[in-house]
Structure 1
Amino acid sequence: AERHASEGLVLLALSHEPRARLRRHAPEMGLPLFQCTGRTAVSYEADAVPTLVLIDRARTVRFAGSGASALRGLRASLARVLER
């Protein structure tokens, strides 16, 4: 994320998988997802589901992954957070 911050790209990985089942998000990052578990869910007051939230430089929010439909209602909340 730090490498892409200057490009305006934000990736939020949300997961409700148990720690034993979590896979590494990306081999080159070397960061297990469980190290970030809870932070995003707490910050946005949402139940974590396995999906990705992509926010581009224009602040367009897109959802990808199996839990995308469950996060459609989160779009307005994310927009409010981005406006701050």
Structure 2
Amino acid sequence: MSKIMTNVERELRRTKPLISFIRSNEIVSFLKKQGIELDQLRCFKCGVKINRENIGAIINDRGKVIAICKACLRNTTIFALYREFMEEEK
């Protein structure tokens, strides 16, 4: 097993992802409740500006909101996203 996957598995022992789904037309109101405007967000992976048409996922980690565009979400896995997020946190 690769060192990266070992690190991801170790982190997942300490924290568990909670995945919930929201309707597309409810995303803006959800973000406003978090104090975030949709046009403030950029994709965590590629940096493209997030809008109603290209939003793929929102990840909320202890109050830090991360957006992923549809294109990047199609080309990744939850493990890869988690690994990249953990790398950025270091």
Pairwise TM-score range, normalised by the shorter structure: 0.3 to 0.5
* TM-score after normalising by structure 1: 0.33
Identify the structure with bigger relative contact order (alpha carbons < 8 Å, sequence gap 6+). 1
Query: Normalised by the size of structure 2, how large is the TM-score?
Result: 0.32
Higher helix share: 2
The structure that has the greater radius of gyration is: 2
